[in-house]
């Protein structure tokens, strides 16, 4: 089907309402081309994209098609799919509740039992609920930290884990075999479905599990203050309870507490960006808070700022906050006799090596995966069933971590509690988080990590990314400035190359490449699975913090210059 005929099919469809027809008519030529040149893709976190009309947009038609595809997938996978049912949750974004209810109605029409929440909920609570209710799957309507124009559709398996490639590929095939989104029809069912609304009982069970991970609930909290912002998202009600009912003095950023799809009072809902902390820092200065914690809109990630000795609020990267938390959790579990003799910590191939060094220092094994928390959740399940190592901690560089596996996705509510407890623990011992990080780095080596992104928008974006990666692969051992490359890993071909030969990489195939430099630093290049951009991850090592001050930015410029990348 040509793009023109596809546009005509949508424009002339009787399924469009007046508002949708008007929206389509108002598209510029570039917007029209981008909305219709492909079907919206499932990537590393399901389906995510701009909202609007067209097959390459998030709308009620593409959501319906994905829902039907997931329903057909579940019916193939489980004999008891209809009776065990699915759980659906949503965040604060435009149309999220409408999509939530439309998904529920579609599943009901297909004969499924459907569990929905009475209002928005954190993504990790969906994972918890799937497991608690023994459902066969789950869906969260969210675009995570993306701007307000975006929404998305995350799918979860029966373990409360996002689908790994071996599971999602059959789902993608089913969806691809369905009619055009504007024409897809819900398959009839001989069984009557049922929609069940979940109340606060699931909240209480989830909160009880979170409070149970505390290692030192007895710590005195009267002189310790915490500023918290949910960034207009799903964490406000439960996030405040997580901390207050453990005795913490919490100061919410009131202007950012109510669910708002426009994110009116924050410059960004993404904890990876400094502007996301502006209002929280203002409040922290007023109340002289010791800690700032913010969640992203679907509450699966947490950003952290601490107050240094001079009263300045310093934002930690996800690598730094994760390393600090690994050190605290493993140290205190060991002190309390709770650290397993066969413990294991999970990270990803783009995460700083510092966390792994800390874990090994406490006698834990370390296993690294491709980007995407689904790989960590899936491995937890595998080892539970096969008697493998005991899960101690899992994290990604992008502020997501999991401390206890009653959820199988990164859990911002768990992280809220444990980052706060960790900071209080060190505070009572006379140290802020920066001072504790310095202690860790003196013990395990100095590390600096950073990330850069390059956008490749429009129809040619994918081709431009592919061409750039081809150039990088063509001369993998070309010196990057004065730095010699000693190892090149191509996760697409699953081959690791060194001066000693080639070796297999025991991970799923993925379009990612990684350079390791002679002095120990590394550069990883990964196209985003959900956005038209390519990400560059840098992990620099050195003998002191001052040596590393500008090294990440310098490595990025050297890579761009060496390979003629427009940075």
Q: Is 96 one of the annotated active-site residues of the chain?
A: no
Instruction: Name the token pair of 344.
Output: 């294991």
Residue-level pLDDT at 530 = 58
Share of the chain above pLDDT 70, in %: 98
Which of 13, 96, 127, 144 is catalytic? The answer is 144
Q: Which long-range contacts (CB under 8 A, 24 or more apart) does 433-439 make?
A: 433/304, 433/306, 433/314, 433/316, 433/324, 434/306, 434/308, 434/314, 435/309, 436/324, 436/327, 437/316, 437/320, 437/323, 437/324, 438/545
Q: Average model confidence (pLDDT) for the chain?
A: 95
Instruction: Give the whole-angstrom CA distance, residue 356 versus residue 155.
Output: 29
Residue-level pLDDT at 42 = 76
Instruction: Give the whole-angstrom CA distance, residue 312 versus residue 310.
Output: 6
User: CB-based burial of residue 154 (10 Å sphere; 0-12 exposed, 13-18 middle, 19+ buried)?
Assistant: buried
Dihedral in degrees, nearest 10, Cα atoms 265, 236, 244, 313: -40
Give the pLDDT of the chain (567 residues) as one tens digit per residue: 789 999 999 999 999 999 999 999 999 999 999 999 999 987 656 799 999 999 999 999 999 999 999 999 999 999 999 999 999 999 999 999 999 999 999 999 999 999 999 999 999 999 999 999 999 999 999 999 889 999 999 999 999 999 998 999 999 999 999 999 999 999 999 999 999 999 899 999 999 999 999 999 999 999 999 999 999 999 999 999 999 999 999 999 999 999 999 999 999 999 999 999 999 999 999 999 999 999 999 999 999 999 999 999 999 999 999 999 999 999 999 999 999 999 999 999 999 999 999 999 999 999 999 999 999 999 999 999 999 999 999 999 999 999 999 999 999 999 999 999 999 999 999 999 999 999 999 999 999 999 999 988 766 778 889 899 999 999 999 999 999 999 999 999 999 999 899 999 999 999 999 999 999 999 999 987 656 789 999 999 998 988 898 999 999 999 999 999 988
Instruction: Give the whole-angstrom CA distance, residue 55 versus residue 85.
Output: 28
Instruction: Give the whole-angstrom CA distance, residue 164 versus residue 157.
Output: 9
Per the CB < 8 A criterion, the answer to whether 285 and 253 are in contact is no
Per the CB < 8 A criterion, the answer to whether 449 and 319 are in contact is yes
Per the CB < 8 A criterion, the answer to whether 213 and 414 are in contact is yes
List the one residue out of 315, 340, 318 whose CA is nearest residue 401.
318
SS3 555: helix
Per the CB < 8 A criterion, the answer to whether 350 and 534 are in contact is no
Instruction: Give the whole-angstrom CA distance, residue 175 versus residue 47.
Output: 12
Per the CB < 8 A criterion, the answer to whether 216 and 246 are in contact is no
Domain 446-562 listed as CATH 3.40.50.970: no
pTM of the model: 0.95
Residue-level pLDDT at 217 = 98
Instruction: Give the whole-angstrom CA distance, residue 123 versus residue 441.
Output: 33
Sheet with 533-542, edge to edge strand ranges:
446-455, 533-542, 522-527, 513-517, 485-490, 495-498, 501-504
In b/e form, how buried is each residue of 284-296, taking b as 16+ CB within 10 angstroms?
Answer: beeeebbbbbbbb
Residue-level pLDDT at 44 = 58
Per the CB < 8 A criterion, the answer to whether 53 and 15 are in contact is no
Tell me whether domains 3-198 and 446-562 share a fold: no
Question: Measuring CA to CA, how many Å separate 367 from each of 215, 410, 451?
Answer: 24, 16, 22
Q: Spell out the domain ranges in the chain.
A: 3-198, 207-214+223-444, 446-562
Residue-level pLDDT at 459 = 64
SS3 18: helix
Q: Strand ranges (DSSP E) for 202-296?
A: 225-229, 249-252, 291-295
Residue-level pLDDT at 1 = 77
List the one residue out of 485, 559, 556, 557 whose CA is nearest residue 519.
485
Residue-level pLDDT at 483 = 95
SS3 35: helix
Domain 3-198 belongs to what architecture?
A: 3-Layer(aba) Sandwich (3.40)
User: CB-based burial of residue 428 (10 Å sphere; 0-12 exposed, 13-18 middle, 19+ buried)?
Assistant: middle
User: Quick one: how far is CA 325 from the chain centroid?
Assistant: 18
CATH pick for 207-214+223-444 out of 3.40.30.10, 1.10.8.60, 3.40.120.10, 3.30.70.270: 3.40.120.10
Instruction: Give the whole-angstrom CA distance, residue 387 versus residue 353.
Output: 26
Share of the chain above pLDDT 90, in %: 92
């Amino acid at each position: 089907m040509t793009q023109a005929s596809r546009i005509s099919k949508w424009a002339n469809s009787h399924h469009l309402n007046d508002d949708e027809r008007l929206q389509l008519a108002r598209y510029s030529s570039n917007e029209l081309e981008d909305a219709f040149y492909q079907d919206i893709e499932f990537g590393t976190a399901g389906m995510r994209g701009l909202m609007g009309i067209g097959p390459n947009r998030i709308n009620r038609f593409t959501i319906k098609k994905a829902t039907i595809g997931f329903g057909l997938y579940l019916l193939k996978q489980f004999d008891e799919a209809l009776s065990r049912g699915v759980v659906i949750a949503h965040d604060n974004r435009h149309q999220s509740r409408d999509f939530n209810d439309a998904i529920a109605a579609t599943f009901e029409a297909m004969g499924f039992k459907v569990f929905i929440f009475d209002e928005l909920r954190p993504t990790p609570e969906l994972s918890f609920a799937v497991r608690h209710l023994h459902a066969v799957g789950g869906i969260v309507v969210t675009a995570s930290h993306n701007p307000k124009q975006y929404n998305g559709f995350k799918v979860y398996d029966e373990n409360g884990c996002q689908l790994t490639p071996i599971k999602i590929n059959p789902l993608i095939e089913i969806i691809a075999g369905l009619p055009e989104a504007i024409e897809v029809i819900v398959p009839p069912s001989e069984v009557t479905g049922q929609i069940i609304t979940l109340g606060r009982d699931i909240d209480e069970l989830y909160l009880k599990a979170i409070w149970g991970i505390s290692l030192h609930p007895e710590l005195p909290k009267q002189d310790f203050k915490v500023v918290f912002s949910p960034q207009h998202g799903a964490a406000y009600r439960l996030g405040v309870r997580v901390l207050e009912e453990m005795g913490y003095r919490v100061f919410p950023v009131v202007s950012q507490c109510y669910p708002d799809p426009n994110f009116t009072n924050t410059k960004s809902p993404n904890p990876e960006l400094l502007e996301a902390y502006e209002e929280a820092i203002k409040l922290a200065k007023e109340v002289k808070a010791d800690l700032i914690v913010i969640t992203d809109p679907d509450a699966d990630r947490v950003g952290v700022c601490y107050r240094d000795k001079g009263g300045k609020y310093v934002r930690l990267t996800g690598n730094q906050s994760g390393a600090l938390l690994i050190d605290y959790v493993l140290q205190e579990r060991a002190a309390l006799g709770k650290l397993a003799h066969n413990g294991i910590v999970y990270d990803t191939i783009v995460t700083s090596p510092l966390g792994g060094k800390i874990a090994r220092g406490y006698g834990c094994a370390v296993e690294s995966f491709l980007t995407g928390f689904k790989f960590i959740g899936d491995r937890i399940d595998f080892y539970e069933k096969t008697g493998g190592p005991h899960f101690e901690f899992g994290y990604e560089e992008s502020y997501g971590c999991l401390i206890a596996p009653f959820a199988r996705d990164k859990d911002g509510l768990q992280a809220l509690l444990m980052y706060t407890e960790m900071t209080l623990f060190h505070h009572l011992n006379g140290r802020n988080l920066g001072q504790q990080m310095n202690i860790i780095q003196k013990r395990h080596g100095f590390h600096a990590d950073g990330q850069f992104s390059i956008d490749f928008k429009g129809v040619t974006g994918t081709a431009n990314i592919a061409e750039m990666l081809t150039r990088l692969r063509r001369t993998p051992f070309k010196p990057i400035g004065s730095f010699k490359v000693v190892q090149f890993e191509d996760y697409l071909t699953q081959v690791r190359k060194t001066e000693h030969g080639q070796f297999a990489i025991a991970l799923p195939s993925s379009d990612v490449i990684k350079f390791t430099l002679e002095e120990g630093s590394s550069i990883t290049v990964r196209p985003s699975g959900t956005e038209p951009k390519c990400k560059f991850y840098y992990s620099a090592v050195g003998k002191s913090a001052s040596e590393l001050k500008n090294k990440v930015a310098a490595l990025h410029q050297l890579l761009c210059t060496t390979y003629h990348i427009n940075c």
